[in-house]
Amino acid sequence: MTDWQNQLKNAIISPEKLSRILGCDQAEVAAVNSRYPFRISPYYLELMKRVGEPLFRQAVPDIKEMEDHQGMVDPLAEDTLSPAPNLVHKYPDRALFLVSSQCAMYCRFCTRKRKVGKASMQINQETIDAGLKYLRNTPQIREVLISGGDPFLLSDQRIEEILRKLREIRHIKVIRIGTRTPCTLPMRITPELVNMLRKYHPLYINTHFNHPAEITQQAEQACALLADAGIPLGCQTVLLKGVNDSLPVIRELLYRLLEIRVRPYYLMQADLTEGTAHFRTDIKTGLAIMRGLIGSVSGMAVPAYILDAPEGKGKIPLTPDYILSHQEDKLEFNNYQGIPCSYPFL
């Protein structure tokens, strides 16, 4: 058994064990677990013990998850936009293909917490084949995002089978994989996995770090293996109350991401998912962070701040307001320092 498989085998999934290790309320954890399962890898548990609250909040069930009556079960209308099992076709040229129902850690803020880690999320050969059939028969789709759950919890052989079948569809030009394993289970990124992945370029990977403390030596090594294989890496960070909702924390995270060759891609406003209200920040918080970043850090380190609109309406970029007036002969605006500027239309 490999290191990463041992990590999964020994993951904490029992309320009693979690209570014994961390001293949290066993009855509350059990109540939350009955609706929203939890799993914490030994790797992330040890990291969480060293760092404390910002990582604890992401991993440990909170009774507040049961007290959110304003959130939506399926905030992005993925089930409505699913023409085949576990396949979401929201944008004209892209599709989301869910190939795994499992994650190394079940993040408490997950958009798909209604289904990930539950027996009700049925993914099998039949559903995979149905998704592939839809992709073959829909020529306007040129890009596929493989997600789940986490695709990297599948075996190397299973991942390769899916990649090979996608590559056989001629109109699919780009494949993306969404995985949090470089953060929560970095030992999953093995030389064998990477050597297989490099056969299927153009291949992109978006991973998910929310706090600079998550960028450990092991995480850096995992990202280095992928980057050395020529796989461009991006990061989708979720803005979370009590985790990273301050400019110093986000700035340090973005600096560290660039150092490990991961391009900050999105800073995402938390979705309106039922059970996650205690994580959501005010939009003003995100805009203030972006204003503090733009112009003060490298443009390579500045992600797009986005909101994924409810009911499947798509991602909307949110930016600080710099424009003062848009006249017939000129544009007047403030620069990142608040200094008035003018751009003439010649």
Extract the annotated binding site for [4Fe-4S] cluster: 103, 107, 110
Give kind and range of the element (H or E) at residue 73.
Answer: none
Binding-site residue positions: 103, 107, 110
Tokens coding 285: 């918080």
How many whole angstroms from its chain centre is CA 90? Answer: 18
134 CB neighbour count, 10 Å cutoff: 18
The long-range contacts involving 222-225, CB below 8 angstroms and separated by at least 24 positions, are 222/181, 222/182, 222/186, 222/187, 222/188, 222/189, 223/182, 223/189, 223/260, 223/261, 223/262, 224/260, 224/261, 225/189, 225/190, 225/191, 225/194
3-class secondary-structure state, position 254: helix
Q: How does DSSP classify residue 147?
A: E
3-class secondary-structure state, position 240: coil
